[in-house]
């Protein structure tokens, strides 16, 4: 636990990394909420956490960060979540997590399988308990533990709980990085504007990180964090045009959806099957929306239960707002999202 005063100071310093004050807002009632979230509108992992915050009706201070480094006319603008003050806050969370840093690139972003990436969103600060929590899965479980009302997302009954957590773990390990950043050799259906930014994304990341290493050479903890991130992102660059790697990522995802079809048929979980809405539904919902955004909805053409699951999840107000609407508002336009956008009329949040 970090002292309240120090945490307030560290969170304020990290918040200062957000260039536009209009992206610092309070969501829900109250002016000094207990929770503070550092996140990005477009980030899948952030969408999971915001969906849970909305389901739990928990107010929070929202710091919507720009997570792409860009090239402006006067030079490189580093992503806001690479800012030293934000990384210092993540290092507080890392001490509690006690995992090795990420040491390579697999296309996955799971802490469980890949190690800790010090330079990503989301990050939660609990100002009441003085805790800083990293990793969307851990954050969501933590938030669910805050109160049982208005919904409990992780069931108490051991079998139901184990199945929900198994599904959450499956979603956490989907190769979302590979699917978003990678150039598929056969059918790259991502919007053109997204493809264009993915041509330079790794170079800009590494350039920004190298500059930050130079600027912070006197702070070895920061340097180590930036170096780990460079290792991961350099690995990503090597495989983003690699046909075998990209095909494998897509095949693995297809297989996970076939497994999902089987699990939906077995009725072991899912709001579709009469179970109450759970963390598994929230995670699958966000990820299925992302697959749709990427033009990959054909993956469930022959999976009728998954197709019905997608339809049901898209109507959930939390997913409509935090996954569908947030993606439409913050990412390059993808025509695949047009049909899903109907959720705004059907289920206004
Ligand atoms: N295991 C982490 C992964 C976090 C992660 O990979 N975040 C992505 C967005 S979903 C990110 O910040 N990407 C920006 C970057 O890598 O620079 C979690 O679930 O929170």
What is the residue-level pLDDT of the chain in tens, covering all 349 positions?
Answer: 578 899 999 999 999 999 999 999 999 988 899 999 999 999 999 999 999 999 999 999 999 999 999 999 999 999 999 999 999 999 999 999 999 999 999 999 999 999 999 999 999 999 999 999 999 999 999 999 999 999 999 999 999 999 999 999 999 999 999 999 999 999 999 999 999 999 999 999 999 999 999 999 999 999 999 999 999 999 999 999 999 999 999 999 999 999 999 999 999 999 998 999 999 999 999 999 999 999 999 999 999 999 999 999 999 999 999 999 999 999 999 999 999 998 876 654 4
Q: Which atom of ligand 1 is nearest to the CA of 134?
A: 20
99 CA distance to ligand 1 middle (Å): 16
Q: Is residue 170 part of a domain?
A: no
- Does residue 148 sit in the same domain as residue 190? no
Cβ neighbours around 126 below 10 Å, total: 18
- Does residue 134 sit in the same domain as residue 70? yes
Q: Is residue 162 part of a domain?
A: no
Q: Look at ligand 1, atom 11, and give the residue with the nearest C-alpha.
A: 120
- Does residue 200 sit in the same domain as residue 61? no
Strand order in the sheet with 131-134: 24-27, 60-64, 35-39, 123-126, 131-134
Q: Is residue 159 part of a domain?
A: no
Paired strand residues for 25: 62
- Does residue 27 sit in the same domain as residue 127? yes
Looking at residue 36, which CATH number applies to its domain? 3.40.30.10
Structure-derived torsion over alpha carbons of residues 234, 240, 241, 247, reported in degrees to the nearest 10 = 140
SS3 at position 26: strand
- Does residue 137 sit in the same domain as residue 264? no
- Does residue 190 sit in the same domain as residue 333? yes
- Does residue 131 sit in the same domain as residue 255? no
- Does residue 232 sit in the same domain as residue 297? yes
Q: Is residue 71 part of a domain?
A: yes
- Does residue 249 sit in the same domain as residue 283? yes
Q: Is residue 210 part of a domain?
A: yes
Q: Look at ligand 1, atom 6, and give the residue with the nearest C-alpha.
A: 109
Residue 305 token pair: 């239960």
Residue 82's nearest CA partner among 199, 223, 208 is: 208
Cβ neighbours around 156 below 10 Å, total: 8
SS3 at position 132: strand
Tokens 């264009």, residue located: 196
- Does residue 101 sit in the same domain as residue 188? no
Q: Is residue 167 part of a domain?
A: no
- Does residue 181 sit in the same domain as residue 328? yes
Residue that terminates a domain, selected from 153, 184, 214: 153
Mutate to test the pocket of ligand 1, among 37, 41, 45 (most ligand atoms within 8 A of CB): 45
124 CA distance to ligand 1 middle (Å): 13
- Does residue 311 sit in the same domain as residue 275? yes
- What pTM did the predictor assign? 0.97
Structural domain count of the chain = 2
Residues with CB under 6 A from ligand 1: 43-45, 67, 79, 109-111, 117, 119-122, 135-137, 205
Q: Is residue 169 part of a domain?
A: no
Domain that includes residue 307, residue range: 176-346
Q: Is residue 133 part of a domain?
A: yes
Handedness of CA 14, 23, 81, 203 (dihedral sign): negative
């Amino acid at each position: 636990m970090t002292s309240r005063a120090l945490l307030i100071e560290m969170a304020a310093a990290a918040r200062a990394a957000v260039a536009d004050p209009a992206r610092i807002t309070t969501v829900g009632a109250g002016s000094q909420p207990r929770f503070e979230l550092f996140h990005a509108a477009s980030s899948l992992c952030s969408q999971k956490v915001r969906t849970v915050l909305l389901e739990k009706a928990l107010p929070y201070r929202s710091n919507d960060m720009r997570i792409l480094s860009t090239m402006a006319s006067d030079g490189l603008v580093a992503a806001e979540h690479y800012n030293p003050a934000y990384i210092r806050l993540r290092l507080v969370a890392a001490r509690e997590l006690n995992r090795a840093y990420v040491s390579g690139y697999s296309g996955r972003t799971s802490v469980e399988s890949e190690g800790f990436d010090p330079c990503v969103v989301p990050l939660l600060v609990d100002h009441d308990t003085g805790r800083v929590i990293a990793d969307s899965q851990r954050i969501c479980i933590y938030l669910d533990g805050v109160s049982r009302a208005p919904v409990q997302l992780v069931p108490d009954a051991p079998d139901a709980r184990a199945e929900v957590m198994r599904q959450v773990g499956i979603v956490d390990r989907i190769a979302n990085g590979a699917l978003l950043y990678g150039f598929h050799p056969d059918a790259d259906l991502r919007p053109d504007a997204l493809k264009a930014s993915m041509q330079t994304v790794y170079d800009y990341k590494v350039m920004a990180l190298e500059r930050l290493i130079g600027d912070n050479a006197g702070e070895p903890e920061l340097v180590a964090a930036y170096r780990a991130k460079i290792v991961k992102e350099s690995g990503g660059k090597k495989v983003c045009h690699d046909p075998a790697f990209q095909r494998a990522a897509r095949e693995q995802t297809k297989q996970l959806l076939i497994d999902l079809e089987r699990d939906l048929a077995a009725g072991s979980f899912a709001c579709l099957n009469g179970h109450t809405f759970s963390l598994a539904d929230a995670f699958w919902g966000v990820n299925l929306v992302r697959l749709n955004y990427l033009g990959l909805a054909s993956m469930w053409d022959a999976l009728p239960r998954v197709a019905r699951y997608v339809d049901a999840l898209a109507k959930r107000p939390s997913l409509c707002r935090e996954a569908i609407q947030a993606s439409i508002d913050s990412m390059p336009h993808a025509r695949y999202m047009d049909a899903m956008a109907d959720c705004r009329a059907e289920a206004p949040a």
